[in-house]
């Protein structure tokens, strides 16, 4: 019942074994590359999220600064308008004469 393998059959089996081993090694390398690619993608996403967080924080700070400065300008304009309303007609006419040229520049 036992059958001995011929030299040709042994060589063929060895060649198939070597080819199978090479395919396994290639598959393992490909899996490693897939893992590295996935890691790179995740790192890139984390870096993008961090940049977006920094941009959002900067924009929030910028908006807060703008709001404070806008409120200061509104207070100054309001105060100036109240003073102008209380000023005599001649003073308002002089102010109008001086400031009207600035708007055409």
Please, which pLDDT band fits residue 7 given cuts at 50, 70 and 90? Answer: confident
Residue 3 lies in a domain: no
Residue 100 lies in a domain: yes
Residue 1 lies in a domain: no
Per-residue pLDDT of 62-84, as tens digits, reads 999 999 999 999 988 888 888 88
Q: What is the pLDDT of residue 103?
A: 52
Domain coverage including residue 87:
9-104
Residue 59 lies in a domain: yes
Residue 4 lies in a domain: no
Q: What is the pLDDT of residue 64?
A: 92
Residue 89 lies in a domain: yes
Structure-model confidence comparison of residues 35 and 67, the more confident one: 67
Residue 62 lies in a domain: yes
Please, which pLDDT band fits residue 56 given cuts at 50, 70 and 90? Answer: confident
HEC readout, the chain: CCCCCCHHHHHHHHHHHHHHHHHHHHHHHHHHHHHHHHHHHHHHHHHHHHHHHHHHHHHHHHHHHHHHHHHHHHHHHHHHHHHHHHCCHHHHHHHHHHHHHHHHC
Residue 79 lies in a domain: yes
Q: What is the pLDDT of residue 67?
A: 92
How many structural domains compose the chain? 1
| The model's pTM | 0.41
């Amino acid at each position: 019942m036992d059958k001995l393998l011929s030299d040709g059959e042994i060589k063929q089996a060895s060649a198939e074994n070597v080819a199978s081993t090479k395919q396994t090694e290639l598959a393992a390398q490909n899996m490693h590359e897939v893992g590295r690619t996935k890691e790179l993608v995740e790192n890139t996403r984390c870096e993008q999220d961090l940049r977006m967080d920094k941009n959002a924080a900067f924009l929030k700070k910028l908006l807060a600064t703008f709001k404070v400065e806008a409120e200061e300008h509104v207070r100054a304009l309001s105060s100036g308008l109240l003073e102008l309303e209380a000023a005599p007609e001649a003073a308002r006419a002089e102010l109008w004469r001086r400031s009207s040229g600035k708007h055409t520049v």
